[in-house]
Copies of this chain bind each other. A is one copy, B any other.
Protein backbone atom coordinates (compact mmCIF):
# COMPACT_ATOMS: atom_id res chain seq x y z
CA UNK A 1 0.00 0.00 0.00
CA UNK A 2 1.32 3.44 -0.90
CA UNK A 3 -0.53 6.74 -1.13
CA UNK A 4 -0.26 10.48 -0.75
CA UNK A 5 -3.40 12.09 0.69
CA UNK A 6 -4.55 15.53 1.76
CA UNK A 7 -4.22 15.74 5.54
CA UNK A 8 -7.61 17.35 6.26
CA UNK A 9 -9.49 14.75 4.22
CA UNK A 10 -7.75 11.85 5.96
CA UNK A 11 -8.24 13.43 9.40
CA UNK A 12 -11.97 13.88 8.79
CA UNK A 13 -12.33 10.20 7.89
CA UNK A 14 -10.22 9.05 10.85
CA UNK A 15 -12.20 11.23 13.26
CA UNK A 16 -15.44 9.62 12.10
CA UNK A 17 -14.40 5.98 12.35
CA UNK A 18 -12.47 6.52 15.60
CA UNK A 19 -15.82 6.93 17.42
CA UNK A 20 -16.04 3.12 17.22
CA UNK A 21 -12.71 2.61 18.99
CA UNK A 22 -13.26 1.92 22.63
CA UNK A 23 -10.40 2.45 25.07
CA UNK A 24 -11.89 -0.34 27.16
CA UNK A 25 -11.75 -2.76 24.27
CA UNK A 26 -10.80 -6.26 25.29
CA UNK A 27 -9.96 -7.39 21.76
CA UNK A 28 -6.60 -5.73 20.91
CA UNK A 29 -7.14 -5.84 17.15
CA UNK A 30 -10.23 -3.63 17.55
CA UNK A 31 -8.09 -0.76 18.81
CA UNK A 32 -6.84 -0.54 15.22
CA UNK A 33 -8.26 1.18 12.15
CA UNK A 34 -8.35 -0.87 8.96
CA UNK A 35 -7.06 0.88 5.83
CA UNK A 36 -8.17 -0.60 2.48
CA UNK A 37 -6.82 1.15 -0.56
CA UNK A 38 -7.87 0.31 -4.12
CA UNK A 39 -8.22 2.33 -7.32
CA UNK A 40 -11.64 3.65 -6.21
CA UNK A 41 -10.27 5.19 -3.03
CA UNK A 42 -9.43 4.64 0.63
CA UNK A 43 -11.82 2.82 2.97
CA UNK A 44 -11.35 3.24 6.73
CA UNK A 45 -13.07 0.80 9.11
CA UNK A 46 -13.28 0.63 12.90
CA UNK A 47 -15.45 -1.44 15.20
CA UNK A 48 -15.97 -2.23 18.87
CA UNK A 49 -18.30 -5.18 18.16
CA UNK A 50 -21.27 -3.03 19.24
CA UNK A 51 -20.94 -0.48 16.44
CA UNK A 52 -18.96 -0.54 13.22
CA UNK A 53 -18.12 2.61 11.30
CA UNK A 54 -16.77 2.76 7.76
CA UNK A 55 -15.77 5.93 5.94
CA UNK A 56 -14.91 5.93 2.24
CA UNK A 57 -12.63 8.60 0.77
CA UNK A 58 -13.04 8.59 -3.02
CA UNK A 59 -10.00 8.73 -5.29
CA UNK A 60 -9.84 12.29 -6.63
CA UNK A 61 -7.43 15.22 -6.70
CA UNK A 62 -6.98 14.93 -2.90
CA UNK A 63 -5.28 11.58 -3.26
CA UNK A 64 -2.46 10.01 -5.22
CA UNK A 65 -2.57 6.21 -5.16
CA UNK A 66 0.75 4.57 -5.98
CA UNK A 67 0.05 1.03 -4.79
CA UNK A 68 -3.13 -0.66 -3.60
CA UNK A 69 -3.21 -2.70 -0.39
CA UNK A 70 -4.56 -3.10 3.13
CA UNK A 71 -3.19 -2.73 6.66
CA UNK A 72 -4.41 -2.25 10.22
CA UNK A 73 -2.91 0.73 12.10
CA UNK A 74 -3.25 1.49 15.84
CA UNK A 75 -6.14 3.99 15.98
CA UNK A 76 -4.82 6.13 18.81
CA UNK A 77 -1.45 6.78 17.19
CA UNK A 78 -2.53 7.31 13.60
CA UNK A 79 -5.11 9.86 14.76
CA UNK A 80 -2.56 11.78 16.87
CA UNK A 81 0.04 11.71 14.10
CA UNK A 82 -2.30 12.97 11.38
CA UNK A 83 -3.79 15.60 13.69
CA UNK A 84 -0.40 17.00 14.66
CA UNK A 85 1.38 16.96 11.30
CA UNK A 86 1.50 20.53 9.93
CA UNK A 87 1.81 19.51 6.28
CA UNK A 88 -0.92 19.76 3.63
CA UNK A 89 -0.22 16.28 2.27
CA UNK A 90 0.77 13.09 4.07
CA UNK A 91 2.40 9.96 2.63
CA UNK A 92 1.53 6.51 3.92
CA UNK A 93 3.51 3.50 2.75
CA UNK A 94 3.59 -0.14 3.83
CA UNK A 95 6.91 -2.00 3.37
CA UNK A 96 7.81 -5.60 4.22
CA UNK A 97 4.04 -6.23 4.56
CA UNK A 98 3.72 -4.94 8.15
CA UNK A 99 5.99 -1.88 8.44
CA UNK A 100 4.09 1.38 8.02
CA UNK A 101 5.92 4.59 7.18
CA UNK A 102 4.00 7.85 7.55
CA UNK A 103 6.05 10.74 6.27
CA UNK A 104 6.15 14.34 5.10
CA UNK A 105 9.11 16.60 4.28
CA UNK A 106 10.39 16.86 7.85
CA UNK A 107 8.63 14.07 9.74
CA UNK A 108 8.88 10.32 9.54
CA UNK A 109 6.89 7.85 11.66
CA UNK A 110 7.63 4.12 11.51
CA UNK A 111 4.80 2.07 12.98
CA UNK A 112 4.23 -1.63 13.41
CA UNK A 113 1.10 -2.60 11.48
CA UNK A 114 -1.16 -5.63 11.78
CA UNK A 115 -2.07 -7.96 8.92
CA UNK A 116 -5.52 -7.23 7.49
CA UNK A 117 -6.44 -10.91 7.76
CA UNK A 118 -6.45 -10.67 11.54
CA UNK A 119 -9.34 -8.20 11.46
CA UNK A 120 -12.74 -9.74 12.27
CA UNK A 121 -14.95 -10.29 9.28
CA UNK A 122 -17.72 -7.74 9.76
CA UNK A 123 -20.44 -7.73 7.14
CA UNK A 124 -21.68 -4.28 6.16
CA UNK A 125 -24.00 -5.51 3.43
CA UNK A 126 -27.15 -3.62 2.51
CA UNK A 127 -30.70 -4.81 3.15
CA UNK A 128 -33.72 -4.79 0.88
CA UNK A 129 -35.70 -3.33 3.75
CA UNK A 130 -34.82 0.34 3.68
CA UNK A 131 -36.26 3.42 5.38
CA UNK A 132 -35.22 6.77 3.87
CA UNK A 133 -35.19 9.64 6.30
CA UNK A 134 -34.03 13.23 6.02
CA UNK A 135 -30.78 13.81 7.95
CA UNK A 136 -32.20 16.81 9.83
CA UNK A 137 -35.32 14.87 10.92
CA UNK A 138 -33.12 11.99 11.99
CA UNK A 139 -30.87 14.18 14.12
CA UNK A 140 -33.95 15.81 15.67
CA UNK A 141 -35.22 12.37 16.73
CA UNK A 142 -31.97 11.72 18.58
CA UNK A 143 -31.66 15.20 20.10
CA UNK A 144 -35.29 15.40 21.20
CA UNK A 145 -35.82 11.90 22.62
CA UNK A 146 -32.53 10.22 23.63
CA UNK A 147 -32.29 12.02 27.01
CA UNK A 148 -35.47 10.20 28.12
CA UNK A 149 -34.03 6.71 27.67
CA UNK A 150 -33.03 4.70 30.71
CA UNK A 151 -29.43 4.06 31.76
CA UNK A 152 -30.52 1.05 33.81
CA UNK A 153 -29.37 -2.12 32.04
CA UNK A 154 -31.83 -4.29 33.98
CA UNK A 155 -34.50 -3.47 31.37
CA UNK A 156 -32.41 -3.31 28.17
CA UNK A 157 -35.20 -2.19 25.79
CA UNK A 158 -35.61 1.05 27.75
CA UNK A 159 -31.95 1.97 27.07
CA UNK A 160 -32.86 2.32 23.40
CA UNK A 161 -35.08 4.48 21.20
CA UNK A 162 -38.07 2.64 19.73
CA UNK A 163 -38.60 3.18 15.98
CA UNK A 164 -42.06 2.22 14.69
CA UNK A 165 -43.15 2.61 11.06
CA UNK A 166 -46.73 2.23 9.85
CA UNK A 167 -47.36 3.39 6.28
CA UNK A 168 -45.50 6.66 5.90
CA UNK A 169 -45.47 7.53 9.61
CA UNK A 170 -42.34 6.97 11.70
CA UNK A 171 -42.99 7.24 15.44
CA UNK A 172 -40.04 7.26 17.84
CA UNK A 173 -40.43 6.75 21.59
CA UNK A 174 -37.99 6.95 24.47
CA UNK A 175 -38.85 6.33 28.11
CA UNK A 176 -37.22 5.43 31.41
CA UNK A 177 -40.72 4.85 32.88
CA UNK A 178 -40.71 8.24 34.67
CA UNK A 179 -41.02 10.32 31.49
CA UNK A 180 -41.70 9.70 27.84
CA UNK A 181 -40.57 11.48 24.68
CA UNK A 182 -42.41 10.97 21.37
CA UNK A 183 -41.31 12.28 17.99
CA UNK A 184 -43.39 11.69 14.86
CA UNK A 185 -41.97 12.05 11.33
CA UNK A 186 -43.84 11.83 8.03
CA UNK A 187 -41.71 9.82 5.58
CA UNK A 188 -41.44 10.66 1.88
CA UNK A 189 -43.33 7.56 0.81
CA UNK A 190 -45.61 4.85 2.19
CA UNK A 191 -43.66 1.68 3.05
CA UNK A 192 -45.00 -1.77 2.11
CA UNK A 193 -44.00 -3.25 5.42
CA UNK A 194 -44.43 -2.12 9.05
CA UNK A 195 -41.39 -1.95 11.33
CA UNK A 196 -40.85 -1.95 15.07
CA UNK A 197 -37.30 -2.07 16.47
CA UNK A 198 -35.14 -0.58 19.24
CA UNK A 199 -31.72 1.02 18.66
CA UNK A 200 -29.32 1.57 21.59
CA UNK A 201 -29.53 5.23 22.51
CA UNK A 202 -25.79 5.61 23.11
CA UNK A 203 -25.02 4.27 19.63
CA UNK A 204 -27.41 6.79 18.08
CA UNK A 205 -25.69 9.56 20.03
CA UNK A 206 -22.32 8.46 18.61
CA UNK A 207 -23.79 8.50 15.10
CA UNK A 208 -25.23 11.96 15.78
CA UNK A 209 -21.72 13.25 16.53
CA UNK A 210 -20.39 12.32 13.11
CA UNK A 211 -23.36 13.36 10.96
CA UNK A 212 -22.95 16.75 9.32
CA UNK A 213 -25.70 19.37 9.20
CA UNK A 214 -26.68 18.53 5.61
CA UNK A 215 -30.24 17.67 4.55
CA UNK A 216 -29.54 14.60 2.40
CA UNK A 217 -31.43 11.40 3.11
CA UNK A 218 -30.07 8.75 5.44
CA UNK A 219 -30.76 5.15 4.44
CA UNK A 220 -31.67 2.82 7.31
CA UNK A 221 -31.03 -0.78 6.21
CA UNK A 222 -32.98 -3.05 8.53
CA UNK A 223 -32.01 -6.57 9.57
CA UNK A 224 -33.32 -8.82 12.32
CA UNK A 225 -30.68 -8.04 14.89
CA UNK A 226 -28.81 -5.07 13.42
CA UNK A 227 -29.28 -1.87 11.48
CA UNK A 228 -27.00 -0.22 8.93
CA UNK A 229 -27.10 3.55 8.38
CA UNK A 230 -25.82 4.80 5.05
CA UNK A 231 -25.18 8.52 4.59
CA UNK A 232 -23.09 9.77 1.68
CA UNK A 233 -19.70 8.02 2.09
CA UNK A 234 -20.39 6.87 5.64
CA UNK A 235 -21.60 3.48 6.87
CA UNK A 236 -22.62 3.08 10.52
CA UNK A 237 -23.84 -0.26 11.81
CA UNK A 238 -25.39 -0.90 15.23
CA UNK A 239 -26.89 -3.91 16.91
CA UNK A 240 -30.60 -3.75 17.74
CA UNK A 241 -31.91 -4.42 21.25
CA UNK A 242 -33.92 -7.62 21.57
CA UNK A 243 -37.22 -7.66 23.44
CA UNK A 244 -40.64 -6.10 23.17
CA UNK A 245 -40.84 -2.38 23.62
CA UNK A 246 -43.75 -1.42 25.90
CA UNK A 247 -46.84 -0.04 24.20
CA UNK A 248 -46.68 3.63 25.15
CA UNK A 249 -49.73 4.85 23.22
CA UNK A 250 -52.12 4.24 26.14
CA UNK A 251 -49.95 6.28 28.52
CA UNK A 252 -51.07 9.60 27.04
CA UNK A 253 -54.09 10.87 29.00
CA UNK A 254 -56.90 12.77 27.22
CA UNK A 255 -59.29 15.52 28.35
CA UNK A 256 -56.96 17.91 30.12
CA UNK A 257 -58.47 19.77 33.05
CA UNK A 258 -56.16 22.71 32.37
CA UNK A 259 -53.69 23.79 29.68
CA UNK A 260 -51.30 26.68 30.22
CA UNK A 261 -49.13 28.52 27.70
CA UNK A 262 -45.79 29.87 28.87
CA UNK A 263 -42.60 31.34 27.43
CA UNK A 264 -40.20 28.39 27.17
CA UNK A 265 -36.95 30.07 28.26
CA UNK A 266 -38.57 31.84 31.18
CA UNK A 267 -40.30 28.68 32.37
CA UNK A 268 -37.04 26.74 32.14
CA UNK A 269 -35.16 29.37 34.16
CA UNK A 270 -37.86 29.63 36.81
CA UNK A 271 -37.75 25.86 37.40
CA UNK A 272 -33.95 25.93 37.31
CA UNK A 273 -33.87 28.50 40.12
CA UNK A 274 -36.58 26.76 42.12
CA UNK A 275 -34.49 23.59 42.10
CA UNK A 276 -31.25 25.16 43.37
CA UNK A 277 -31.87 24.18 46.99
CA UNK A 278 -32.78 20.60 46.06
CA UNK A 279 -29.89 20.04 43.67
CA UNK A 280 -28.10 17.57 45.94
CA UNK A 281 -30.92 15.10 45.76
CA UNK A 282 -31.39 12.63 42.95
CA UNK A 283 -35.00 13.66 42.36
CA UNK A 284 -35.07 17.38 42.84
CA UNK A 285 -38.77 17.89 43.42
CA UNK A 286 -40.47 21.20 42.66
CA UNK A 287 -44.16 22.07 42.89
CA UNK A 288 -46.35 24.04 40.47
CA UNK A 289 -49.21 26.02 41.97
CA UNK A 290 -51.44 27.61 39.37
CA UNK A 291 -54.00 30.20 40.47
CA UNK A 292 -55.37 33.12 38.44
CA UNK A 293 -52.88 33.81 35.67
CA UNK A 294 -49.84 33.22 37.82
CA UNK A 295 -47.63 30.16 38.07
CA UNK A 296 -45.91 29.68 41.42
CA UNK A 297 -42.95 27.31 41.41
CA UNK A 298 -41.94 26.18 44.87
CA UNK A 299 -39.49 23.84 46.50
CA UNK A 300 -38.13 23.34 49.97
CA UNK A 301 -35.53 21.41 51.88
CA UNK A 302 -35.78 21.25 55.67
CA UNK A 303 -32.06 21.83 56.30
CA UNK A 304 -31.38 24.39 53.61
CA UNK A 305 -34.49 26.51 53.10
CA UNK A 306 -37.22 27.17 50.54
CA UNK A 307 -37.81 28.98 47.26
CA UNK A 308 -40.81 30.58 45.63
CA UNK A 309 -40.72 31.79 42.03
CA UNK A 310 -43.61 33.34 40.14
CA UNK A 311 -44.28 33.98 36.46
CA UNK A 312 -47.17 35.10 34.24
CA UNK A 313 -48.85 32.41 32.13
CA UNK A 314 -51.98 32.04 29.96
CA UNK A 315 -54.69 29.56 30.97
CA UNK A 316 -57.30 27.96 28.71
CA UNK A 317 -59.89 27.87 31.50
CA UNK A 318 -60.42 29.00 35.05
CA UNK A 319 -59.01 25.95 36.84
CA UNK A 320 -56.46 25.72 39.63
CA UNK A 321 -53.94 22.93 40.17
CA UNK A 322 -51.07 21.97 42.46
CA UNK A 323 -48.69 19.32 41.18
CA UNK A 324 -45.13 18.19 41.99
CA UNK A 325 -42.50 16.61 39.72
CA UNK A 326 -38.76 16.20 39.12
CA UNK A 327 -37.24 19.53 38.09
CA UNK A 328 -34.52 17.68 36.17
CA UNK A 329 -36.97 15.70 34.05
CA UNK A 330 -39.17 18.74 33.37
CA UNK A 331 -36.16 20.88 32.38
CA UNK A 332 -34.83 18.21 30.02
CA UNK A 333 -38.28 17.93 28.43
CA UNK A 334 -38.59 21.73 28.01
CA UNK A 335 -35.08 21.94 26.55
CA UNK A 336 -35.98 19.55 23.73
CA UNK A 337 -38.31 22.07 22.05
CA UNK A 338 -37.18 24.64 19.52
CA UNK A 339 -40.41 26.68 19.92
CA UNK A 340 -40.57 30.04 21.66
CA UNK A 341 -43.43 29.01 23.92
CA UNK A 342 -44.90 25.73 25.16
CA UNK A 343 -48.27 24.36 26.23
CA UNK A 344 -48.42 22.27 29.39
CA UNK A 345 -51.54 20.18 29.92
CA UNK A 346 -52.62 18.89 33.31
CA UNK A 347 -55.03 16.00 33.92
CA UNK A 348 -55.00 15.85 37.71
CA UNK A 349 -52.50 15.86 40.57
CA UNK A 350 -51.44 12.27 40.07
CA UNK A 351 -51.76 12.16 36.28
CA UNK A 352 -48.96 12.82 33.78
CA UNK A 353 -48.12 16.32 32.56
CA UNK A 354 -47.96 16.67 28.78
CA UNK A 355 -45.77 19.28 27.11
CA UNK A 356 -46.04 20.42 23.50
CA UNK A 357 -44.42 23.20 21.56
CA UNK A 358 -46.70 25.99 20.43
CA UNK A 359 -45.87 25.48 16.75
CA UNK A 360 -44.01 22.20 16.19
CA UNK A 361 -46.61 19.40 16.30
CA UNK A 362 -44.13 16.55 15.80
CA UNK A 363 -42.84 16.42 19.37
CA UNK A 364 -44.62 15.54 22.64
CA UNK A 365 -43.09 15.11 26.07
CA UNK A 366 -44.69 13.46 29.10
CA UNK A 367 -43.47 13.81 32.70
CA UNK A 368 -44.95 11.85 35.59
CA UNK A 369 -45.84 13.77 38.76
CA UNK A 370 -44.40 12.86 42.16
CA UNK A 371 -46.66 12.47 45.19
CA UNK A 372 -45.39 14.70 47.97
CA UNK A 373 -47.85 13.74 50.71
Residues of A at the B interface (CB closer than 8 Å) are 74, 77, 80-81, 84-86, 100, 106-112, 269-270, 272-273, 276-277, 279, 303-311
Contact = CB atoms under 8 A, between A and B. Distances in A.
Contact of A273 (B85, B112, B277): B85
A328 B197 CA distance: 49
A309 B110 CA distance: 12
B110 A307 contact: yes
A305 B84 contact: no
Given A84-B272, A85-B273, A269-B86, A77 B304 contact: yes
A77 B273 CA distance: 10
Q: How many copies does the complex hold?
A: 2
18 contacts: A77-B276, A77-B304, A80-B276, A81-B273, A81-B276, A84-B273, A84-B276, A100-B305, A106-B270, A106-B310, A106-B311, A107-B273, A107-B310, A108-B309, A109-B306, A110-B305, A112-B303, A112-B304
A111 B304 contact: yes
A276 B84 CA distance: 9
Contacts of A111: 277, 304-305
Nearest to A101: B305
Nearest to A298: B108
Q: Shortest 3 CB-CB distances between A and B: which pairs?
A: A111-B305, A80-B276, A110-B305
B310 A77 contact: no
Contacts of A110: 305-307
A309 B107 contact: yes
Given A84-B272, A85-B273, A111-B305, 19 more contacts: A77-B276, A77-B277, A77-B305, A80-B276, A80-B279, A81-B273, A81-B276, A84-B276, A86-B269, A106-B270, A106-B309, A106-B310, A107-B310, A108-B309, A110-B305, A110-B306, A110-B307, A112-B303, A112-B305
A264 to B, nearest CB: 15
Contacts of A100: 305
